[in-house]
Structure 1
């Protein structure tokens, strides 16, 4: 019944209005309309028009509300709240960070990591040395692990009330307890992302975000139609995938695996929603991004739904996937 109603609406629209997509549907069917829409989604100019007027300095964020920004060289923590297409600063206070300069590489190097991290938990059952509470970050993330980094226990926390502490932390971000409690009252850690840069944070822009959106949908389309060569063109030659148990798969192994899947020539449905494209600070001055989305995948032999994460480099206007979940 609904399909008949929808078709009536389309036919009525074709009579009352001049609509190229309606005409295309009328003359060539739904497959032709889908093809035209796929072309638009892979067109950078479409995304530039669609994103015009959006505040994209922290990327494109669809389902988060708070952006934490720690610029290590400035020894401060800023928090921005998303309000529609814009951001407002709601917190800006001094902090203490790790003693070592540069990006964290291993346990005990006393460095605060550089990158993009989730706030996994809010822990109020902490040793008094860490103040009233701690926000637990996701270091090391998937990209860190792919690079061979290790360590753990990178928190945003307070300070001891009854004793002096060092000027630096062992890698965490620490602040005076009153400031931490005020921060805690302003945010929801479950809807937050933490960006840590070594020096001044390099903001993203509409050109980069548009190119990445076009790449995402080009990658998706090649995946759906089993076009292996185009699909693999979105992967970096140094691509690494970390499997369960820490098994590392390189580009060539991954391509052989995907060839087996694509050779089945199965019809697929792949739908992305809640897409976040976040600039990834790094000490190599590369255009790195974390892309996360909710992915619904359907094929006759396999179905799945869940969060998909890509860490990518933007090279010559096209995404190059470095690692993925």
Structure 2
């Protein structure tokens, strides 16, 4: 009952009143059905994010965004909180690798994509300056597309002299700038978007993705295999190498075992980011904390998927 009441209060006042009336006149089961229907509605999410700035993505908790334009040689720093986006710094004339997307080790290109900062280090080699942020390249999208290489950092310049304007693929700032960046951000709550021709999020897309996520979740928790697989793209690949055909066969076995059993699935801390890519395809990276609870099995942890827009629908292209 406490969970039901909590769901009421997190909705808007109009929706809350409707839900209360549903509970008064039809009981808890009808209330749950009404909530499920509501969160699967694009219109609901459009109203929910009406005043949010989602240009660089949708974030449910305070976040920092680093937006690197390789062609313009700029790195913008944004703080995102409660739907508001504020630019806190702009670094110009940064050093980046060659134009084009990184494909393999040694091509001297800075990758195009969306990454997290996974560590902050003081380099043992003074060539990299006083500080470096280690990025998540290659990420899941890169690995599925067979890109290799490693060691893509945001770092400073040599402590013992100038290095010119050459980069082996990293993002290079002046030493005072890398130290300032460290003061501005919490690297553990930062997303790095690297592009040449910027791809920005559309509010309609974000709302549709949120609605699609909850439609997908509903089919999943109810073991509706036909509906569930309709959310997957023809070019789908799973992180373990499964293609769509193999994945469907696997899920059919899982769903048969779950049929008639109670399954609960919850998504928290959802992040939706326009995935920068060389072809500017309408792809979004979606990450969240997932709680999956069923008889005999539970999962509590990080979930990562990529969706692509096909016509008027979003389909799951990659999943981990």
| TM surpasses 0.5 | yes
> Would the aligned equivalents of 2:273 and 2:286 in 1 still touch at CA under 8 Å?
yes
How many residue pairs are counted as aligned between the two chains? 306
- 1:63 Cα deviation from its structure 2 partner: 2.7
Q: Which residue of 2 aligns with 1:301?
A: 296
Separation in 2 of the partners of 1:277 and 1:317?
Answer: 18
Separation in 2 of the partners of 1:31 and 1:317?
Answer: 32
- 1:188 Cα deviation from its structure 2 partner: 1.0
Separation in 1 of the partners of 2:232 and 2:76?
Answer: 34
Q: Which residue of 1 aligns with 2:254?
A: 261
Comparing 262-271 with 23-32, greater Cα deviation is found at 23-32
Q: Which residue of 1 aligns with 2:196?
A: 198
Matches within 5 A, 1:90-239: 90-94=88-92, 95-99=94-98, 101-199=99-197, 201-239=198-236
- 1:170 Cα deviation from its structure 2 partner: 0.8
> Would the aligned equivalents of 1:154 and 1:172 in 2 still touch at CA under 8 Å?
yes
* Residues 44-97 of structure 1, C-alpha deviations (whole Å, 9 max, x = no match): 111111111111111211234210000111001110012332111111112100
SS in 1 for 2:71: helix
Separation in 2 of the partners of 1:167 and 1:53?
Answer: 41
TM-score by length of 1: 0.90
> Would the aligned equivalents of 2:123 and 2:129 in 1 still touch at CA under 8 Å?
no
Q: Which residue of 2 aligns with 1:315?
A: 310
- 1:19 Cα deviation from its structure 2 partner: 4.3
Separation in 1 of the partners of 2:52 and 2:17?
Answer: 27
- 1:241 Cα deviation from its structure 2 partner: 1.2
* Residues 252-283 of structure 1, C-alpha deviations (whole Å, 9 max, x = no match): 11111100111120321000111111111111
Q: Which residue of 2 aligns with 1:73?
A: 71
Separation in 2 of the partners of 1:287 and 1:304?
Answer: 30
* Residues 147-186 of structure 1, C-alpha deviations (whole Å, 9 max, x = no match): 1111100000011132332422011000111111111111
Pairing 1:249–2:242 present: yes
- 1:137 Cα deviation from its structure 2 partner: 0.0
Q: Which residue of 2 aligns with 1:50?
A: 48
Q: Aligned-residue CA RMSD in angstroms?
A: 1.7
Separation in 2 of the partners of 1:185 and 1:21?
Answer: 45
Give the unaligned 5+ runs of structure 2: 9-15
> Would the aligned equivalents of 2:54 and 2:201 in 1 still touch at CA under 8 Å?
yes
Q: Which residue of 2 aligns with 1:14?
A: none
- 1:292 Cα deviation from its structure 2 partner: 0.7
- 1:297 Cα deviation from its structure 2 partner: 0.4
- 1:125 Cα deviation from its structure 2 partner: 3.4
SS in 1 for 2:67: strand
Deviating runs (4+, > 6 A) in structure 1? none
- 1:302 Cα deviation from its structure 2 partner: 1.0
Give the unaligned 5+ runs of structure 1: 11-17
